[in-house]
Structure 1
């Protein structure tokens, strides 16, 4: 089961494995098996071996899926890199994991060539191109459930990028637990408009192969295109972030072929849950994280009407313990830090012994919430004032450090500003003694921060508001930015 495509080729060869909505092309498991074999052979010809780390810098597309499965066949470790990051951010991540090569596409080739690893493109017009390598015969790797399947980056609660180790066992346990919550049918088609360098997007492709069902890929998210794809391909499932769900509801009627619409990456507002249910969309608010190979808890549609502020009970095999500041478990209804344990939880981070991230009850998430008397999880707030904008995590300290490196900036406070569409936007209150403007700061940040991390709300002050103890008064900062919103 470590090579899911090979497994399905033996038992389910004629079933549709993959659909590309942009081209209309599709692959059966038998056809995908041959394509993966070719891709693995070409990677092997370039010197990629079992245990090597292979970086992938591209958006969701069939070539990304083939690379993910080719890594399993070779025994290589897949390292998806966020194609939206600025080059300095990518460079730091690449140095932390030292991939033997980076596979890119035409749109990311220029950035990839600035990183510290050999680069090859999946697009024939680029040089060097993966297709230029003559494939060699590949012997399927002998893998264990404890072997690392992928390294996915997350900022972590400290703001420092960390590479999360996800094993074959983590991925399989997550697929099983999700199946028990959402169900699996032979004709399921799961549409993925999410980026595959995030666990929410990658998990759709990996789980579908384990189930022997179909993954339907879109190239990015456009509400009209996604609505059309859901209908044209009779999709039974879709993964979204709240902003995407809102845009789909704004754009028109959503296909009645859906059994579930999994919505995560950021808190789903209760009124959005109610709106979806009123539109007969089987919405499933979920809470998950990279460190758990996606879902931790998920609410079923029939439960959502009465519990629109919950993310459901923890999935099969997953335990969530709510602890207080002293690290001791709290009673039902008491708010504290969420600690997660179970077979989906990462064994740790690259280059980190994990002692600060784990406790006797499991992985410390840094998220706050409570479990009610009926076992339903409610999530709200993050310990480190992390900002979640459109499903992307942003750490204020990282943004502030970049802005404060501008020679005209003295101090900066960065907070999340409420936004109806994105959940939050990044806001910055700036202390400057020179003629710095919001436009100059945006230009300064352009090649230093990913677009979603750059402040969209900027205000200026003579000094930052502070509490009696001298720390920045974040509530007052939000008030100061309110007039600019």
Structure 2
């Protein structure tokens, strides 16, 4: 661990115009002419360009995040969380995701100190290096993914550092089992819900117990509405992205602003919103498939595996009779994985049919399970 290097996010980064690429160095993406296109054809001269999480599957798709929107997001987060100059941040996430870059926007506005890992692409699954940095620098605020938190509290049983007053957890669902164990060990979880298009967070709870219920207060500055049938979430804010850039069939850059006439962006998420303005994530609409005539959320099946204390993912496989059947790939743990125990909490049409156990599941650079690699493993076994 070391103090922030000036080369990663220069002091004048947030105030000077320019098009800045924040892309995964391990993924080869064609960006030739993209910066000029955004400046000359789109008319934006101060922005960060990131790739969407689906880029590797569906071809290059870039998200344009204007710096003013990133700073609007940071201001809302700082206000909501009560972040101040006295806070000491640990930034262990990569800068090619908004969860990582957003930390530096918040630090810029709050004027507080930040520490960063030497190589955020490498995560010590024992949690030893992370905890040592927290204690050495008396860290008060940090951010991780649910996979990182699982390694810390389920796999290793680490207690939270005494100096820590908040740990933002985002990038995936937090199971009740994981949240409960983390709270038992004193981890002050701030559960978040957000996306790249929102420049980071849309809803965050500073009450650690909310990580169990899943109900998160919507941040100031965000307008939300849901479709009464599907629960599809639409959002509007000064912190919203400006649009997408893709290549068309002719190989030329194409600008897409996916907003309605009033500036609403329809996400791919289904959520609930209560009368107090709290939001709870239900599922990604794109992850639902039909089985025995019923819609099944893959996210729900994966949460059921997490609730059992295991780490795993679920793949729907076409089935002539049912429409789809479900195969789980789980990581071998200390105890035996019980499929019967998982299915006991699911409806019959949701039951997982088969389990493939792996000694260790591949992970992305931000700690998420690499489902693409696992799909290839599954295809070879079928």
Same fold judged by TM-score > 0.5?
yes
Equivalent position of 2:176 in the other structure: 270
Taking structure 1 as reference, are residues 298 and 357 closer, same or farther at Cα in structure 2, changes over 3 Å only?
same
* Aligned counterparts of 1:484 and 1:314: Cα–Cα separation in 2: 38
Gaps of 5+ in 1: 1-20, 36-62, 101-145, 326-334, 387-414, 430-463
Rg larger in structure: 1
The alpha-carbon distance between structure 1 residues 292 and 216, as it changes in their structure 2 partners (threshold 3 A), is same
Aligned position for 2:319 = 465
Indicate if the aligned counterparts of 1:192 and 1:238 stay in contact, CA closer than 8 A. yes
Structure-1 residue corresponding to 2:187: 281
The residue aligned with 1:201 is 100
Q: 1:272 to 1:359 in 2, by over 3 A?
A: farther
Structure 1 equivalent of residue 284 of structure 2: 382
Q: Which residue of 2 aligns with 1:337?
A: 232
1:72 Cα shift? 5.1
Would you say 1:148 and 2:90 are equivalent positions? Answer: no
Alpha-carbon distance change, 345 to 308 in structure 1, aligned in 2, over 3 angstroms: same
Contact 2:191 2:210 in 1 (8 A): no
For residues 159-204 of structure 1, what are the alpha-carbon distances to aligned partners after superposition, in whole Å with 9 as ceiling and x for unaligned? Answer: 4542111112211111111012111222211111111111101111
Q: Distance in 2 between matches of 1:161 and 1:263?
A: 27
Aligned to 2:213, which of 276, 300, 309? 309
**CA shift at 1:147, angstroms?**
4.6
Tell me what 1:76 maps to. 18
Q: Per the alignment, in what secondary structure is the counterpart of residue 151 of structure 1?
A: strand
User: Do residues 348 (structure 1) and 243 (structure 2) align?
Assistant: yes
8 Å CA contact 1:246, 1:272 repeated in 2: yes
Shift of 1:353: 4.8
**In 1, distance between residues paired with 2:227 and 2:316?**
32
* Counterpart residue number, 1:372: 274
**How far apart in 1 are the matches of 2:91 and 2:262?**
36
For residues 227 and 190 of structure 1, the distance between their equivalents in structure 2, rounded to whole angstroms, comes to: 13
1:241 is the counterpart of 2:179: no
Distance 2:257 2:310 in 1: 34
Query: Residue 155 of structure 1 contacts residue 161 of structure 1 at CA under 8 Å; is this kept in 2?
Result: no
Deviates more, 1:230-239 or 1:166-175: 166-175
Report the CA distance shift for 1:350/1:70 in structure 2 as closer, same or farther (over 3 A).
Answer: farther
Alpha-carbon separation, structure 2, partners of 1:314 and 1:467: 42
Distance between the aligned counterparts of 2:191 and 2:110, measured in 1?
A: 22
- Structure 2 counterparts to residues 409-424 of structure 1, below 5 A: 418=302, 420=306, 424=312
- The Cα shift of 1:216 comes to 1.2
SS, match of residue 266 in structure 2:
strand
Which ranges in structure 2 are unaligned for 5 or more consecutive residues?
A: 38-43, 247-253, 289-297, 329-350, 358-382
Which SS does the other structure have where 1:320 is aligned? strand
The correspondence for 2:109, drawn from 210, 213, 235, is 210
Q: Secondary structure at the match of 1:247?
A: helix
Once residues 324 and 353 of structure 1 are traced to their aligned partners in structure 2, the CA distance between those partners, rounded to angstroms, is: 30
Q: Is the contact made by 1:310 and 1:376 (CA closer than 8 Å) also made in structure 2?
A: no
TM-score under structure 1 normalisation? 0.55
Q: Equivalent residues in 2 for 1:7-156 (5 A)?
A: 21=1, 24=2, 26=3, 63-66=7-10, 69=11, 75-85=17-27, 90-92=28-30, 94-95=31-32, 97=34, 147-155=45-53
Provide the TM-score with structure 2 as the length reference.
Answer: 0.69
SS in 1 for 2:287: coil
- Alignment: residue pair count: 301
